[in-house]
Amino acid sequence: MRPIPTRVRALTAAAAVSIVAGAGAVAVANSASAAAGCRVNYSVNQWSTGFTGNVTVTNLGDPISGGWNLTWAFAGNQQITQGWSATINQSGANVTAAGPSWAASLPTNGTANFGFNANYSGTNAAPTTFTLNGTVCTGNVPTSPSSSPSTSPSTSPSSSPSTSPSTSPSNPQPGTKVDNPYAGARGYVNPEWKAKAESVAGGNRVSNNPTAVWIDRIAAINGTTGSSSNGSMGVRDHLDEALEQGAGYIQFVIYNLPGRDCAALASNGELGVNDLPKYKTDYIDPIAAIQGDAKYAALRIINIVEIDSLPNLVTNTSGQPGGTATCDTMKANGGYVQGIGYALQKLGALGNVYNYVDAAHHGWIGWDSNFGPSADIMLEAARASGNVKNVHGFITNTANYSALREPFVQPTTTVGGQSVRQSKWVDWNMYTDELTFAQAFRTKLVSIGFDSGLGMLIDTSRNGWGGSARPTAASTSTDVNTYVNQSRIDRRIHAGNWCNQAGAGLGERPTAAPAPGIDAYVWVKPPGESDGSSELIPNDEGKGFDRMCDPTYTGNARNGNSLSGALDGAPISGAWFPAQFAQLMANAYPAL
């Protein structure tokens, strides 16, 4: 579903500051109170006189809403010089990291991630004890009934999966929006996807995870029958089923713009480039009417709004490598901006509806030449809705494969005197993984006029890249290209490859508030649903054949004339692809 990223190369590179070598440790202490618990993962990338520290703290106890503080003591002479995603203070060996104001909450099973740069001499031993709000972190789940999460797998579609963001639904007051709709709420399990997942051996291990429902054509609103790739349930059917399950939230993908996906063929849609009036009256209005039904007022309805569209207007118009006439048309006629503005206005007016607009991914708009202009056009679309608050947040990596974290390949890494940004893979990008990109893009969006409470989502349904091919340590090569290719978690042939990627795996399971500024890791692209057919397959859904889905295709300028890396035997976009699902489970990270 994701077009090949195109960008204008930055003319200058930022100075690199360090050579990294992976080293990790998990700190575990000795005791924990019965009322709370926590776990800390502490890892470093170090060189002779300095290191970058990465800290992830998970709250295993009762929700923390009034701010959190993590403290520890260094064993040596380590001295922090810079920190991010937390306010870090050091006095002697003692360090305190406080959560930022925009991510002060830490729900049960919620995770905060922050980092720092530091100097040292001699040895660089990891701290042995971490304390969260006065409680020593042992990694144990507390025994308090009010906070102990279930660890047994669910066997019923109406039950919450063990990996879902919460084990109990919430009951917000109708018409009152919460800061994070995923926090403290059980996600809806689509029974159609669940059945498909369980039709593949081992699928019941993940089939109770919440996934999004794609409304990718007008007929999908009321449901379809026959050979439809998305099954027969309509929007109201899914909402009613969510109530039956006792779900706290349900996710829909709003995906039917006129001239949809102007830079790729596999996910073209049914509406022509001038069909904006039809988009409004026949598509958005009926969805808004159903979602606005009072019977669903206590259900958090989350809409993922029009993936791929706005970034295409920045990167895939005339003057850009591979620019298309359709993208030119959609930029000129305002169909994307006005269509999204209308959708945000109609859906954002509903008190229990949360809109997250698609924001591409780091391998598409991570370059300076794309980063700012993409944010600007997203603001233009939000303002077209009448109020930027109609946007609750943004989502990155939708239906894509960009790794969540690249522990051994960061923009600050240097190899043989060269920045990894000079490597063919990174190609001067300012970002190498999705988490740092999403957090930085959030900061940019807030700086230009979006609400300071903006939250980000990251689609982790297919970016795990586990299995035997996953690097476990940094390469020892002094050649920058060899180092990057041997060290990167993302194993694609080229970062521009987007269709049914060979070797991909399930990523982090859906989780609420996993890192600062991130509302949730989500599975918006249901694992096992195809990105596009590997050969031409006639269909009545307006979906074409894109050579990037053909495993024999040798590529184009937009993917460095590289093989597509696509799996063979794929059906049309959105149709069930069991071979892909089996591969995703086999290569899952964390492993199943």
Token pair listed for 290: 């159903």
CA quadruple 362, 363, 369, 375: dihedral, nearest 10: -40
Q: How far apart are CA 271 and CA 326, in angstroms?
A: 13
d(CA 514, CA 457): 10
Cβ partners under 8 Å of residue 552, min gap 6: none
Query: Is residue 479 classed exposed, middle or buried when 0-12, 13-18 and 19+ CB atoms within 10 A define those classes?
Result: middle
Please, what's the b/e burial string for 289-303 (b: 16 or more CB within 10 A of its CB; e: otherwise)? ebbbeeebeebbbbb
Residue 57 β-bridge partners: 40, 112
Active-site annotation holds for 433: no
Task: Tell me which amino acid residue 474 is.
Answer: A
55 alpha carbon, distance to own chain's centre = 20
**Which stretches within 215-352 are classed as H helix?**
219-222, 235-245, 276-278, 285-291, 309-315, 325-333, 335-348
Q: Which residue reads 């890494």 in tokens?
A: 413
Find out whether the peptide bond into 551 is cis, omega within 30 degrees of 0: no
Assess whether 308 carries a catalytic annotation.
Answer: yes
Per the residue annotation, which of 308, 358, 459, 546 is the catalytic one?
308
Out of 216, 531, 546, 550, the active site residue is 531
Q: Give which of 174, 265, 270 is closest to 215, Cα–Cα.
A: 270
Measured CA to CA, the distance from residue 25 to residue 130 in angstroms comes to: 13
Pairing of strands 414-415, 393-396: unpaired
Look at residue 587 and give its three-state secondary structure: coil
Q: What distance, in Å, lies between the first and last C-alpha atoms of the chain?
A: 26
Active-site residues, by number, are 308, 531
